[in-house]
Amino acid sequence: MAQGNINFDHETRGWVDLIPPRSPRLKLTSNLEAKWLVIGAGFTGLSCARRLAKINPNDQIILIDAREIGQNASGRNSGYAVAHSHFFGVYKESQLSQYQRVDRINQVGLNSLRSLVAENNIACDFKDTGIYHAAADNNSSKECDDFIDYLEKREINHTPLSQEQLQKHLGTKWYQKGVKVENGALVQPAKLVFGLADNLPSNVTLYENTPVLKMTVDKTNKLVVPNATITAEKVIMACNYESLAHGQPKQRVVGVTLSGSITRVLGKDELEKLGNQSSWGVLSLHRGGATVRLTADGRISIRNTAEYNNHRLLTDRQLLKRQAIHRKAFDNRFPQLSHVSFEHLYSGVEGVSANKTNIFKKLSNSLYFAGCFNGSGITKGTAFGMGIAEYVCDHESSLVSDCLATAKAGWLPPRPVLDVGAWFITRQRFIGVGKDR
């Protein structure tokens, strides 16, 4: 049995704030017996519930979330739906099967999202034309060479870009070099999760604002939510770093808090100074570097801080301090737009494991966990959600085999050592970041 001392922070900053509000589904207020229960309605839980519903068309699938849709990492991320993960360092032939396995998982997630967006007409600015990776400093320029070599050896469709070419595409001279990986998409993450949640199959019932406060795991699982209990035969935890609150899986995931700012909508004359693309997204070739996007609605979004904040969002005061870091990065890249104000400021928490692996696990005969995507969970979370549903239903598939081959997440020490270690490791990602921040 595990019991959490849980406090779910709620706020609607960032991408959710850019779009019309959505009416949340009702809270659960009466006791319930369920065959299938999914906890957490981010990309992983939404995808898991959908797949369970498809495999078991005559069963009801219960999906519950402590918050409203979009108030989690899935609604707060930078919106890069990657097909090809960037493995730092030189290409290693011995790792080829690992590279291929991870990309197969990414591709399952990307294909699923692409189909769902098309089938349900989800207006989420889904732009399926690739992702830029760029280097501003010397360390990351070397990483750029290694990444291009990797892409060539793997025969992944890509376009290397010089400083001048990047300037033409993006309107900034800041990057020394880069590469565009042609497979991969950009999305408005909050619009996407709203759309996924509002188009669930009819045999999925979603309850929002319904936190699991306590869980007893046995032949049947008993869960306590405010004002009701749930008895469930099979439970799938898709609750990312907050699984810690239940002690499941024990001390393998920590929450790392990121922050970003989004400008006002740029005018026509300002957009003309930003290169020849209507929207784009740049990932940094340094682990601690900024992710920068020109969004479909003509804003620039920049995210470049990461810290250990006890698995919590940042307070207003903390956010305002971080915004100075966003501002500096913005002005460095776009001096021609230094008069443009930021309109939105937000933080989000991502699940990270000690050895940067993901978790796909049967915890008992009736309890499963999928999550922890180390900052890359749009496509992977979607695929892991499908995979864990298939696994629970004893379906054999190449996706399940690929997910099961995930390396075991490294052990993390208990608190307070965990807090110190997580703080320290998160700081390390900025070593040598230089102009990439």
Instruction: Point out which residues bind ligand FAD (CB under 6 A).
Output: 6, 8, 39-45, 64-67, 72-74, 76-80, 82, 211-212, 238-240, 242, 245, 258, 303, 348-350, 371, 373, 375-378, 381
Least distance from ligand FAD to the Cβ atom of residue 47, Å: 8
| Residue whose CB is less far from ligand FAD, 16 or 239 | 239
Residue 386: phi and psi, rounded to 5, are -65, -45
Least distance from ligand FAD to the Cβ atom of residue 28, Å: 10
Instruction: With beta carbons less than 8 A apart as the criterion, state whether 225 and 64 touch.
Output: yes
What is the C-alpha separation between 144 and 135, in angstroms, rounded? 7
Nearest to 208, CA basis, from 194, 188, 187: 194
| Residue whose CB is less far from ligand FAD, 288 or 377 | 377
The C-alpha torsion from 400 through 402 and 407 to 409, rounded to 10°, is -40
Q: Is 95 helix (H, G, I), strand (E, B) or coil?
A: helix
Please identify which residue in the block is written with the tokens 């993901």: 358
Instruction: With beta carbons less than 8 A apart as the criterion, state whether 75 and 15 touch.
Output: yes
Instruction: With beta carbons less than 8 A apart as the criterion, state whether 42 and 190 touch.
Output: no
| Residue whose CB is less far from ligand FAD, 66 or 270 | 66
What is the C-alpha separation between 421 and 419, in angstroms, rounded? 6
Nearest to 146, CA basis, from 109, 101, 95, 106: 95
Least distance from ligand FAD to the Cβ atom of residue 269, Å: 29
Nearest to 310, CA basis, from 347, 266, 268, 346: 347
Strand 228-237, strand 32-39: pairing: parallel
Instruction: Tell me the two tokens of residue 186.
Output: 């950009």
| Residue whose CB is less far from ligand FAD, 53 or 258 | 258
The C-alpha torsion from 111 through 117 and 119 to 122, rounded to 10°, is 180
Least distance from ligand FAD to the Cβ atom of residue 74, Å: 3
What is the C-alpha separation between 84 and 87, in angstroms, rounded? 9
Least distance from ligand FAD to the Cβ atom of residue 268, Å: 27
Least distance from ligand FAD to the Cβ atom of residue 319, Å: 12
Residue 55 CB neighbours (<10 A): 17
Least distance from ligand FAD to the Cβ atom of residue 94, Å: 26
Q: Is the Cα dihedral 285, 290, 294, 297 positive or negative?
A: positive
| Residue whose CB is less far from ligand FAD, 141 or 376 | 376
Instruction: With beta carbons less than 8 A apart as the criterion, state whether 131 and 283 touch.
Output: yes
| Residue whose CB is less far from ligand FAD, 245 or 345 | 245
What is the C-alpha separation between 322 and 427, in angstroms, rounded? 15
| Residue whose CB is less far from ligand FAD, 6 or 55 | 6
Least distance from ligand FAD to the Cβ atom of residue 164, Å: 27
Least distance from ligand FAD to the Cβ atom of residue 411, Å: 21
What is the C-alpha separation between 84 and 104, in angstroms, rounded? 9
What is the C-alpha separation between 378 and 79, in angstroms, rounded? 8
| Residue whose CB is less far from ligand FAD, 65 or 137 | 65
Least distance from ligand FAD to the Cβ atom of residue 258, Å: 4
| Residue whose CB is less far from ligand FAD, 32 or 66 | 66
Residue nearest to ligand FAD (CB): 377
| Residue whose CB is less far from ligand FAD, 150 or 207 | 207
